[in-house]
């Protein structure tokens, strides 16, 4: 059964295999009258592009987005918005051996069980390239949110890679920063702690050569979220965000605020420390209007050793994951902002 | 917009306010021919009942389940299955003061923002009593799974409460146990580590008096899951389970296997240690056929101090949460078992 | 796969077998703050009751509606509204022979093919009694519409039974009448043409004795509908109404305005005669703000001959069908009124 | 709210404006392993092309279909299938005046009310060109059906145009014909009655010059349909087909078999004449396994007079509508064939 639709009102339908002809997305449910800029969308997508940071994979694709429908004279029409990127650098020959020998840690073999007939080239639809569709749609969600809640701000940074973690002080500093995105864009890697950043750069530089790989934790922050978002009981905001974020490849867990730490505390402590625990943004799974924090754990990438030898090894996906994480959260928030219009008569 | 439907194929529609007339659920999408036992369903529901363990709330309701439709001569009909429990012990007078003064940590005020008109009595639909519908439906999901995959086994236990955690040895022992459920049912609290259990009993005994409360971590295990469950890309099994579990009140995080620990490891370590990390059950977010482990973090319950004085304080919800956690996972698995029938021509 | 959900935003989930324990419906997606009256709902449901007119089946059930959730202090809460009627007069012994011998014209045998295990008593869920859930939900849709569009008026009458049809003049008179519902309620059968009414009464009186049965055409009128209802391209208002109306048992066709007549005309005629053809209410499948007319054809009921002998023969279902037809249209309009809130930013 | 998704399991998501960049469709829910031929798909689409018959609009587009995803080495992958046609002949200058002056009978003005901002060029998404997406998807539905029910045969023909109707004998002959499609393809217009065909050709030839337009009735036949298709109670096969067919522009009514005629008959007649009335294919709204007949009424096209002067007048859309009608029925049947896999345990 199909699984490429996300959202209940602001719905996106994604398609595309890594080494097929194109990747794309159709957004159905975006209202008319949203100011739309293809240039902004392209910039948003460029953040995701492999090859953007010196540490990421060498596959460099222009990923030029084509707008096919749903927009006229700079504003959305209320009709489906279709966005497309043709695949150019599809070196499927690299992947010919996979057909017989599934790669360890990849989903090749479970897809085989599931579908019997699969496209093995570059992981087919199981490839990380699939997230391009999410980011294109995320850019549109951002434009809609801009129209509805101009002060809403979604940003994310790397909290830890391997055993290196940014300090509490650095975390607080970026969370309170008046323009966190600009601040983060200045950095090679979005690690807003100079000392930690240097250590990680050294770590990943070495790993790029040795073929080692690392996971880590991404911290996502939403500021300016209105109160009352989330639909009881199965579509609480926290539940829909969990669906959104755990649908991303390599994610292995998430917590709201300091979730796991909170679970070991006494109730009397917790309730006096909610702000400090970054847990003030949710109550009963519904937004409260205060800032919301989610931390997402990523496992180390599966491509270790062998793949590194052809010079295409990316030892850590976290930098690339940031626009994907943000896109999924933007999509979920856009969906909930619209769905709340139906709450009261 | 409505949010009381869970599932895409095996769909459940839940209803009921804590102090309204009844709680119920309608299941649409259960195939015909499933052997159905109301006695078994009642037993499954009884596990959830407040008052089952000496440590839980004193509100003792019989919670007698009525079967209204969808079953005939002991087998499901393929038509909607409706299940109902009338509310009996609705002491709404206890809650009259809430109308003016929302309880700290409860969702009363965000619901007010959201809906303007709310039922304040006992939290209305935001009450934990809502989970009764989930458990009734979970029992039906279990019967369906029993027909389709008789060896599939879902069980859960308490891994930690406050700072007390069961040992690795105890964890491994229960996970490998040939009949873990029977083993766990022997215990007052499902903490399969004698030493830890004693400490927790003391902790909660004191807390019941002092009005303190505790959260903790629940570990859920699925054995006998077939490979290939989960729908790429937005309905990966891990994503749908995240939606299912984070839709439960008081949950603040989850990890698959040792997710957060895995995120701090080197790739070379991780890939040799997957089994040990309890992460073998998922690849690309799809089930592999091996055992799957999820850990869910719960915050301490919100009812601290004042509420304890009328003698109805339950210092920890984790024991009561187990059948709810299991139900949500059973529902999601039932949904995916059916949806996989549509994967191949 | 389940099929008991109707609506995309204002969703209803229906359940119940004719001779099971109860019939019911859960409405998820009704906003909070809608004035709700159980008395009004009961009156709306009473119109449907078999035994209301002298010409209908002798099965006389009180059909006392219970409200289980979703309403507090006279207003909806935005949470699911559950409504229930227990079945009382379930003479299942009457139907014991059906188990072996399916009734001609009934769906008993195709259900057997479909589900293998079925509830044969009274047709089970294939029984017309299932429409009770629709009418309960329709009454709630009406209350919502009353809040949103107080001038919107949905009414229906019998245009023909067998070969007897009301005159054009009579049709125009009732369509233009300032209070058509009151006018129609004065009549034994909602046939607003005295001459035709007398002939039909004679026809059905005879048929009640002889065991003959008749079909006919119901005409439904919506006045006060705002412009812009309907979602291109697959959920045009005309398409969703077609789904709604053809989901009713015994319906065999429908036309918007004088649809079939229009299809035989020249374009130049049609465009000058739209008003006269009662086709002004739709353009491109979307409402225009003018009155909308739908005509629904019903086949003669299947229970002929044999069944009549036990004195329970109802020779024509059209009178009973009116509140069902109106309910389905009210549900569809309620759904579209809400969904239009999402059209513009 | 979005309305461009059709189907519950075999879901299609359509997009594109008449004078935008492209028309397309994404199919999510097609199982893996279906034999796929782009050549066959192109041929199926070509039947729809304006300009195919001498009587249709002069806008001649190649409509070359691009396959973007979901198929590999000639078989579907179980992943979304995306199909695209770039718009070439987009003479938007022709339509500049419409911006100020909406065309009579077109949806331009109700779209304006609905969305405020619209694409007026060629009707934008309200254009009949939108149906290209339906036909591309219909061709895929046909391939799926071919895999699942090779003997299932869907075909359609013109029963009447204006006041000219084919004879009963001709109707019976084509319905019983061993290879009806081949027979119909021999004709300029799919009117399988020589005498009627000649009259209609004369009628439309004159109308093409005078600017007159005509509607008519299409008859659709399904042979080889298995019993048990349709989901009680709101997704009966007849209800879903009504949704499918009334979502097509210019449709104004439909009947199953001789629906409206049946409604005027006595029950005793009807039940002995079901076969003759072409009503044998449905019982309780569910397929019985016998042939099913649907008749769809189309109003005369809206483009009369003025438009004719630039030499682009098409006096009747029925010939062009045939592949669209068939596509919608194929889509609905594909959806139901899959959904029936979930009926029994």
Residue D272 or A59, more confident: D272
DSSP readout, D141-159? HHHHHHHH-TT-EEEEEEE
Residue C318 and residue C327: Cα distance in Å, rounded?
14
- Closest residue in B to D341 (Cα) is B341
Q: Name the 3-class secondary structure at C216.
A: strand
> Residues C228, C229, C231, C232: what is their CA dihedral angle, to the nearest 10 degrees?
-50
Nearest to residue A137, comparing CAs of A28, A295, A260, A22? A28
Q: What's the token pair of residue B178?
A: 């040939």
Cα separations in angstroms, D329 against C277, D47, D220, D332, D335: 28, 16, 9, 5, 10
pLDDT of residue D273: 80
- Residues from chain A contacting residue B115 (CB–CB below 8 Å): 343-344
A341 to chain C, any CB pair closer than 8 A? The answer is: yes
Cβ pairs B/D, distance under 8 A: 44
pLDDT at C173 over 80: yes
DSSP 8-state symbol, B54: T
**Residue A340 to chain C, least CA–CA distance (Å):** 10
Contact residues on chain B for C23, CB-CB shorter than 8 A: 69
B 40-79 residues inside an 8 A Cβ radius of C: 66-70, 72-73, 75-79
Searching chain A, which residue's CA lies closest to the CA of residue B270? A300
Where does the pLDDT of residue A193 fall: very low under 50, low under 70, confident under 90, or very high at 90 and above?
Answer: very high
pLDDT at position A306 is: 46
**Which pLDDT belongs to residue A269?**
87
The beta strand positions in B249-343, using DSSP E, are: 251-256, 282-283, 286-287, 292-298
Q: Which distant-in-sequence residues (6+ apart) come within 8 Å of D151 by Cβ?
A: D223, D224
Rounded to the nearest angstrom, the minimum Cα separation between C279 and chain A is 26
Could you tell me if B115 lies within 8 Å of chain A, comparing CB atoms?
yes
Segment A329-337 mean pLDDT: 98
Question: Which chains does chain D touch, 3 or more C-beta pairs < 8 A?
Answer: A, B, C
pLDDT tens-digit readout, A65-83: 999 999 999 999 999 999 9
CA distance D90 to chain A (A): 14
How confident is chain D (345 residues) per 10-residue block, as mean pLDDT?
97 97 98 98 85 50 90 98 88 55 74 94 91 98 98 98 97 97 94 97 91 95 97 98 97 97 92 83 95 97 57 81 97 98 97
Length of chain B: 345
Nearest to C217 by CA among C242, C252, C193: C252
ipTM at complex level: 0.95
Contact call for B344 and A113, based on CB within 8 A: no
Which residues of chain D does C234 touch, with a Cβ-Cβ cutoff of 8 Å? 3-6, 14, 243, 247
Cis status, amide bond into A233, omega within 30 of 0: yes
Higher per-residue confidence, C60 vs D308: C60
Q: How big is the CA angle at B249 (ends B246 and B253), to the nearest 5 degrees?
A: 40
Quick check: C308 pLDDT over 50? no
> How many alpha carbons fall within 13 Å on the CB side of residue D72?
22
Report residues of chain B scoring pLDDT below 50.
51-52, 57, 306-310
Per residue in C188-240, pLDDT tens?
A: 899 999 999 999 999 999 998 888 999 999 999 999 999 999 999 999 999 99
B144 touches chain D (CB under 8 A): yes
DSSP-assigned beta bridge partners for residue C220: C156, C294
pLDDT at A104: 63
With beta carbons less than 8 A apart as the criterion, state whether C294 and C241 touch.
yes
Q: Do C32 and B66 touch (CB under 8 A)?
A: no
Sequence-distant (6+) residues with CB within 8 A of D169 are none
The answer to whether the Cβ–Cβ distance between D344 and B78 falls below 8 Å is yes
Residue C270: per-residue pLDDT: 87
**Partner-chain contact A80 D13, CB within 8 Å:** yes
- Nearest C-alpha in D relative to B336: D342
D238 interaction partners in chain C (CB closer than 8 Å): 246-247, 251
How would DSSP label each residue in A200-262? HHHHHHHHHHHT--B-EEEEEEEESPPTT-SBTTTB-HHHHHHHHHHTSTTEEEEEETTHHHH
In the prediction, which pLDDT does D307 show? 47
User: Per the structure block, which two tokens stand in for D56?
Assistant: 């249709």
Distance in angstroms (rounded) separating the CA atoms of residues B144 and B31: 8
Average pLDDT, chain C: 90
Confidence check: pLDDT of A307 > 90: no
Whether residue A263 and residue B298 make contact (CB cut-off 8 A), yes or no, is yes
Q: Chains meeting A at 3+ CB pairs closer than 8 A?
A: B, C, D
Q: pLDDT digit string (tens) for B167-186?
A: 999 999 999 999 999 999 99
Least CB–CB distance from B72: residue in C23, C67, C119: C119
Q: How far apart are CA B79 and CA A140, in angstroms?
A: 40
The pLDDT score that the predictor gives to residue C209 is 86
| Non-local CB neighbours of C97 within 8 Å, separated by 6+ positions | none
**Interface contact flag, A84 D68, Cβ < 8 Å:** yes
Contacts 24+ apart (CB under 8 A), C168-176: C170/C196, C171/C219, C175/C221, C175/C278, C175/C291, C175/C293
State the number of CA atoms in the 13 A half-sphere of C137 facing the CB.
35
Closest CA in chain C for residue D286: C110
Q: Which residues of D touch C288 (CB under 8 A)?
A: 110
Residue of D nearest to A66 (CA): D21
Asked whether the beta carbons of residue D77 and residue A11 sit closer than 8 angstroms, the reply is: no
Measure Cα distances from D40 to D36, D47, D112, D222 in Å.
Answer: 8, 11, 39, 20
Half-sphere exposure of D199 (CA within 13 A, CB side): 13
Distance from the Cα of D33 to chain A's closest Cα (Å) equals 6
Which pair of structure tokens corresponds to residue D81?
A: 């299938």
For residue A21, pLDDT over 60 is answered with: yes
Q: Which pLDDT score, from 0 to 100, does residue D93 have?
A: 52
Instruction: Give the phi and the psi of residue C80 in degrees, each rounded to 5.
Output: -60, 135
Peptide bond into B225 cis (omega under 30): no
pLDDT recorded at residue B269: 87
Contact predicate D53/D46, CB 8 Å: no
8 Å CB contact of D343 and B148: no
Which chain D residues are within 8 Å of B341, Cβ to Cβ? 341-342
């Amino acid at each position: 059964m199909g699984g490429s639709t996300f959202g209940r009102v602001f719905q996106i339908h994604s398609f595309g295999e890594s080494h097929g002809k194109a990747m794309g997305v159709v957004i159905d449910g975006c209202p008319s009258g949203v100011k739309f800029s293809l240039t902004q969308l392209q910039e948003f997508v460029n953040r995701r592009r492999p090859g953007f940071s010196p540490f990421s994979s060498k596959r460099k694709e222009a990923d030029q987005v084509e707008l096919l429908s749903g927009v006229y004279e700079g504003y959305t029409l209320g009709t489906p918005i279709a966005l497309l990127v043709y695949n150019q650098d599809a070196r499927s020959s690299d992947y010919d051996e996979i057909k017989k020998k599934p790669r360890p840690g990849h989903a090749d073999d479970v897809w085989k069980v599931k579908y019997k007939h699969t496209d093995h080239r570059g992981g087919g639809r199981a490839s990380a390239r699939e997230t391009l569709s999410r980011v294109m749609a995320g850019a549109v969600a951002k434009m809609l949110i801009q129209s509805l809640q101009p002060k809403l701000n979604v940003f994310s940074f790397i909290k830890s890679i391997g055993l290196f973690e940014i300090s509490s002080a650095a975390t607080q500093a970026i969370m309170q920063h008046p323009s966190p995105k600009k601040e983060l864009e200045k950095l090679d890697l979005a690690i807003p702690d100079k000392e930690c950043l240097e250590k990680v750069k050294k770590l990943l530089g070495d790993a790029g050569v040795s073929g080692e790989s690392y996971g880590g934790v991404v911290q996502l922050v939403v500021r300016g979220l209105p109160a009352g978002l989330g639909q009881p009981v199965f579509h609480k905001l926290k539940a829909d965000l969990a669906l959104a974020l755990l649908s991303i490849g390599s994610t292995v867990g998430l917590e709201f605020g300091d979730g796991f730490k909170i679970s070991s505390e006494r109730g009397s402590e917790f309730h006096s420390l909610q702000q400090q625990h970054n847990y003030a943004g949710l109550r009963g799974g519904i937004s409260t209007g205060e800032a919301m924090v989610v931390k997402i754990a990523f496992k180390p990438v599966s491509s270790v050793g062998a793949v590194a030898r052809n010079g295409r090894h990316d030892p850590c996906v976290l930098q690339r994951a940031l626009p994907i994480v943000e896109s999924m959260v933007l999509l979920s928030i856009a969906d909930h902002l619209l769905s709340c219009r139906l709450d009261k008569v």
